[in-house]
């Protein structure tokens, strides 16, 4: 079945460092891909999405490009802030539109 694999955390960075969180997927068909974020004490919220190959999703300085050839959707940010500390979930939606999530990656940014 469809699945999402993302890098184990925690990822620990200093403020203004470059961030990459790897995400790869296995799917039949052509899923939409998402990054969701969960800030401490808050609910899940959409960070960005891409619905077809080569699309780039972007929001709040974060970017991810839908790469069909490598089945990847890596999350990047050029300069992280302390306020970016959260758990990041990569996900795909299948034909029924249910979300299949990766295990989540905790990001900790220190000043």
Partner 1 sequence: GAGVSQSPSNKVTEKGKDVELRCDPISGHTALYWYRQSLGQGLEFLIYFQGNSAPDKSGLPSDRFSAERTGGSVSTLTIQRTQQEDSAVYLCASSPPERGGETQYFGPGTRLLVL
Binding site for partner 1 (CB under 8 A): 32, 34, 36, 42-46, 49, 51, 89, 91, 93, 96-104
Residue owning tokens 């990656």: 105
Q: What is the DSSP string of 18-45?
A: -EEE-EEEE-SS--EEEEEEE-TTS-EE
Which one-letter DSSP state was computed for residue 79?
Answer: S
Instruction: Compute the least distance from the CB of residue 15 to partner 1, in Å.
Output: 28
Shorter beta-carbon distance to partner 1: residue 80 or 89: 89
Shorter beta-carbon distance to partner 1: residue 13 or 48: 48
Instruction: Compute the least distance from the CB of residue 18 to partner 1, in Å.
Output: 26
Q: Which of 27, 33, 31, 75 is nearest to 50 (CA)?
A: 33
Shorter beta-carbon distance to partner 1: residue 35 or 109: 35
């Amino acid at each position: 079945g469809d699945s999402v694999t993302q890098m184990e955390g925690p990822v620990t960075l200093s403020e203004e460092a470059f961030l990459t969180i790897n995400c790869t997927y296995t799917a039949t068909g052509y899923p939409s891909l998402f990054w969701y974020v969960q800030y401490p004490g808050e609910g899940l919220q959409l960070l960005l999405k891409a619905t077809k190959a080569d699309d780039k999703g972007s929001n709040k300085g974060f970017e991810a490009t839908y790469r069909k050839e490598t089945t990847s959707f890596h999350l990047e940010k050029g300069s992280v802030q302390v306020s970016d500390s959260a758990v990041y979930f990569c996900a795909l939606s299948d034909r029924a539109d249910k979300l299949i999530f990766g295990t989540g990656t905790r990001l900790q940014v220190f000043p």
